[in-house]
Structure 1
């Protein structure tokens, strides 16, 4: 690499005429025609300096469980002498048990700021006051449905459980209808999972006047059940009566030499006439197999849990962002050349190897001036697609002239761009570099992106 000659007239990768001033924020003022010259296709997007995080996708599946019948215990038959058998059945939710897609508002992640000498990697440890993801909500689900999203937890809404007493001829003597709801909350910064379970005796008929309802929970390998029963005692429930309580799990049971675990939660319900002693569960069920909770300890400081889905997390870059907007049009062009909007996360060790491959050696335009010129690699070092040999990447210095003309000239006149490169090595200030990396860092943090996780990248005005 030759010594820097900043004022030589270089070959341009692309030039966009802007109507804004000569700052990074001017990038957001470009017209649709200018956007088309960068990406090869104009797109309609909402203007926002700090775009909100995309909606969390709420997925759902029909509730299913195991029915059971058992001989009525002698101590309960004193109340209903003719009764000999008790059965518990589950009302099946209408429709198929396939996944449907609903929408739930998600919290916006704040933009990352200057590293202030912290020495952290913004793609793994973004700074700033980070808001909690939205709490789980069952408001949009149908009765008898499970619902879940990656960061919004998992809910069971309105599952119907029917208790029926039969005589020896199989005639029904009475029934009780119980409605079950549960809400399981995950956290991006804790391995603890807290759940609220509610059972309501909706109505009774015939010889069934009241019922005793108990619950017990558990979870699979990789998980520890901390609180197994949401409520205690054998007080009978009468119509309209409600039992509610909390259970707790922890995704901390990592197997040897592993850094993550995936598991389902399981439930047993005991329904009986007053005075009876529970022997076997009356009904049992588990959370859906395609909504396993995944907990990990792969981030530098935080351990946490999510429920991965096929709906990929979205990394959003805004061209009008006041700090890193100046590099977004070039990112966009490179992704257009790559022919995909999907990238894959890697761990911190791989990210360091990738960054060294792209950014070492790196000749600063302002040697001796800290953060005046840094290497911004794209695709990012913390993705599987990063880590390309820096000699094969376009080495550019994005800038905005006083007349509002945005350009990304080749940094060195003897190394012009071929306009076919699919990776970048940009000369930008530490402020720009940290801010751009922090956007991915926030996504990685909130969405618990681990090694191999795919995510989408999109660009807005």
Structure 2
């Protein structure tokens, strides 16, 4: 919500009693100054809580291995020996001990420790190692398959621990298949500063018209050469990958992180009066539909969306929308909330009817004198918008549902940039 509010400009609204009256009888009811910042990709995170130690008796005493919780992370990530091609996806934001997610990617940097104890009483530490596992993937919105990139790095080793050998096995829940479960063949031995890198692959099969939540997991087998005992560290991705086949007549599959709320980004430079109308409604009207605090919910039923549009802008409205071609070239009724959302379909008689005009770099909103005075308590808005900009914004709404894989009943934000 903070990111969104930072992008929105300050609204200056004058009540009807104070509204400016223009020479042609139009009354100015508010202004909208375009935002100065561009939208930033939404990111969320999950802290890694670590795991309890797994210990085995060895000839020299006992060896223990564990994932460290965030509070015990000793230092920032070290990718010594890892080239740019080996690092996780560039879209990821790597933070020690955390998983980071965008709508279309996930990544993590996890820290583990190995501790070797002798047989004395009390036992003494005779060797240690610290290692990092990184995981990163950019999901496909046009395919049910995706690649996950992994690295293992040994950051330090002391005493009797000179190196660690790792093998890796990726897996996923039954609605998914790990088509390439191991990033490298067998076990690979790493000394301090060395990195192993590879990829695993997954394919989800949600079925036509359906969606599934996939949990990816991995298990790492760790061995210290010369020390008996095999250790296994396992970890689930804390957030699910959602894959669906609900677009293009249920023939197109794509995947996203559904916990990251999608955005519909509409630049003023492309969508003009349509985008300005939505932004002004978000700031002026009481419900603030489409903001982070009150997102819209996709409808997903074109027949109902058509009925919604008729109820707001067409013959279903008890107060008709009256085009004003003398004020707006190729005038059309542009409704917000969108007809294709659960929040759309309000009776047009209840809407605020406004005429947006770009004047000296500022969008001025004038009262439609065929409608009641704007109060800010209206549940919807009808903007007098050129037909081309209206259609373009509507088209972007439809395309964005596909590119962001916004399934029916899913919430999304509308961001004006």
Instruction: Return the TM-score normalized by structure 1.
Output: 0.64
**Is 1:161 aligned with 2:113?**
yes
CA deviation after TM superposition for structure 1 residue 268, in Å: 0.9
CA deviation after TM superposition for structure 1 residue 232, in Å: 0.9
CA deviation after TM superposition for structure 1 residue 84, in Å: 5.4
Q: Which residue is equivalent to 2:35? A: 46
Distance 1:46 1:424 in 2: 21
Picking from 82, 93, 107, the partner of 1:138 is 93
Distance 1:176 1:435 in 2: 58
1:422-461 correspondence runs (5 A) = 422-426=379-383, 428-441=385-398, 443-457=400-414
**Greater relative contact order (Cα 8 A, min sep 6): structure 1 or 2?**
1
Picking from 246, 253, 260, the partner of 1:303 is 253
1:331-370 correspondence runs (5 A) = 332-333=280-281, 336-340=284-288, 341=291, 342-349=294-301, 350-361=304-315
Instruction: Report if the CA contact (8 A) 1:89-1:163 is conserved.
Output: no
Picking from 204, 219, 222, the partner of 2:172 is 219
Compared with structure 1, are the counterparts of its residues 445 and 63 closer, same or farther at alpha carbon in structure 2 (3 Å cutoff)?
farther
**Is 1:62 aligned with 2:20?**
no
User: 1:122-173 deviations in whole A, cap 9, x for unaligned?
Assistant: xxxxxxxxxxxx943234x1x222222333x222225123253654865544
Picking from 60, 67, 83, the partner of 1:90 is 67
User: 1:344-392 deviations in whole A, cap 9, x for unaligned?
Assistant: 23243143443343344389969xxxx9554422211122210123454
Compared with structure 1, are the counterparts of its residues 323 and 263 closer, same or farther at alpha carbon in structure 2 (3 Å cutoff)?
closer
Compared with structure 1, are the counterparts of its residues 231 and 407 closer, same or farther at alpha carbon in structure 2 (3 Å cutoff)?
closer
CA deviation after TM superposition for structure 1 residue 231, in Å: 0.8
Other structure's SS at 2:242 match = strand
Instruction: Report if the CA contact (8 A) 2:274-2:385 is conserved.
Output: no
**Is 1:207 aligned with 2:160?**
yes
Distance 1:440 1:68 in 2: 51
Picking from 201, 218, 223, the partner of 1:267 is 218
Q: Which residue is equivalent to 1:419? A: 374
Instruction: Report if the CA contact (8 A) 1:395-1:426 is conserved.
Output: yes
Gaps of 5+ in 1: 1-11, 19-33, 73-81, 97-133
After superposition, the CA RMSD in angstroms is: 4.2
Higher strand share: 2
Instruction: Report if the CA contact (8 A) 2:311-2:346 is conserved.
Output: yes
CA deviation after TM superposition for structure 1 residue 45, in Å: 5.7
Distance 1:17 1:442 in 2: 40
User: 1:279-312 deviations in whole A, cap 9, x for unaligned?
Assistant: x752112122xx32222233447532222447x5
Distance 1:144 1:274 in 2: 27
